[in-house]
C-alpha cells in the first residue's frame, strides 16, 4: 500500500509541476504581449528564458491573440464533453495494486472488489496499465523461494525426461493457468 501512496503522490506532484510551468510560460507571454512584442519575438524571449522547453509557435500565436484581445486569464478554458468519472488515476492505482497482490484475478473479480463496471476495469487494465492475459507459469514473481526451488527441481527432472524420450514427454505436457502481466 505504501508503494501505491508514493506513486500517487509522485503523479500528483508531477501534474502540479507541469501545470505550474505551463502557467509560468503563459504569464510571461502575457507580459511580453502587453509590452508590445510580436509573437515571433515573444517566442524567442520565451525560449531564452525556458531554454527551449516552451510552447510551440502555434500555441504562442493563439495565446498572443487572446492576450492582445484583452484576455486576462492564463488558465485553460473549461473542456467540453463528459468528464471522466470512473477512469481516473486513483482507480487506476487501485486496480494496479490489486493486480500486484494477485495477478490471476479476472476482470469480473476486479470489478466486484473495486466497485467499477467491468467495461471500465477492462479499459483501465488494457489501455492504462497496458496489461494482457498470459500463462501464470511465466510469472515467477508471485512465487516464494521454496516454490521457485521446487519448480527448478521439477524443470531439471523434466529436462532429463525430455532428453531420454522427447516424443513421449511432449505428449504428456498440459498447461491451463492464466494471469495478467504488463506488456
Give the start-to-end residue ranges of the domains of the chain: 2-68, 141-182
Residue 78 has what pLDDT?
75
How would you label 70-104 residue by residue, b for 16+ Cβ within 10 Å and e otherwise? eeeebeeeeeeeeeeeeeeeebbbbbbbbbeeebe
Return the exposure string of 15-29: e unless at least 16 CB atoms fall within 10 Å of the residue's CB, then b: eeeeeeeeeebbebb
- Quote the pLDDT of residue 18: 55
Q: Are 99 and 180 in contact (CB under 8 A)?
A: yes
pLDDT in tens, 50-67: 887 888 889 889 989 988
- pLDDT tens digit sequence for 129-146: 888 776 543 344 567 888
Instruction: Please provide the size of the chain in residues.
Output: 183
Q: How many CA atoms lie within 13 A of 147 on its CB side?
A: 7
User: Per the structure block, which three cell numbers stand in for 108?
Assistant: 469480473
Please name every residue paired with 132 in a beta bridge, in sequence order, or none if there are none.
Answer: 181
Taking only the tens place, the pLDDT of each residue in 84-107 is 678 888 899 999 888 888 878 888
User: Rounded to an integer, what distance in angstroms lies between the CA atom of residue 178 and that of residue 183?
Assistant: 15
pLDDT at 127 over 70: yes
pTM: 0.39
Amino acid at each position: 500500500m505504501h508503494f501505491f501512496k508514493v506513486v500517487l503522490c509522485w503523479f500528483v506532484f508531477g501534474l502540479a509541476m507541469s501545470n505550474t510551468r505551463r502557467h509560468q510560460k503563459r504569464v510571461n507571454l502575457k507580459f511580453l504581449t502587453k509590452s508590445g512584442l510580436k509573437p515571433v519575438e515573444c517566442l524567442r524571449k520565451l525560449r531564452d528564458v525556458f531554454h527551449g522547453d516552451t510552447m510551440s509557435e502555434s500555441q504562442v500565436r493563439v495565446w498572443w491573440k487572446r492576450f492582445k484581445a484583452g484576455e486576462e486569464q492564463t488558465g485553460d478554458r473549461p473542456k467540453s464533453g463528459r468528464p471522466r468519472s470512473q477512469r481516473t488515476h486513483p482507480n487506476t492505482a487501485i486496480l494496479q495494486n490489486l493486480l500486484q497482490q494477485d495477478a490471476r484475478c479476472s476482470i469480473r473479480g476486479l470489478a466486484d472488489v473495486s466497485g467499477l463496471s467491468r467495461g471500465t476495469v477492462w479499459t483501465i487494465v488494457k489501455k492504462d496499465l497496458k496489461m494482457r492475459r498470459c500463462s501464470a507459469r511465466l510469472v515467477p514473481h508471485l512465487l516464494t523461494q521454496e516454490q521457485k526451488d521446487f519448480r527448478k527441481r521439477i524443470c531439471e527432472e523434466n529436462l532429463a525426461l525430455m532428453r531420454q524420450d522427447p516424443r513421449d514427454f511432449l505428449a504428456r505436457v498440459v498447461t491451463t493457468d492464466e494471469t495478467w502481466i504488463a506488456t
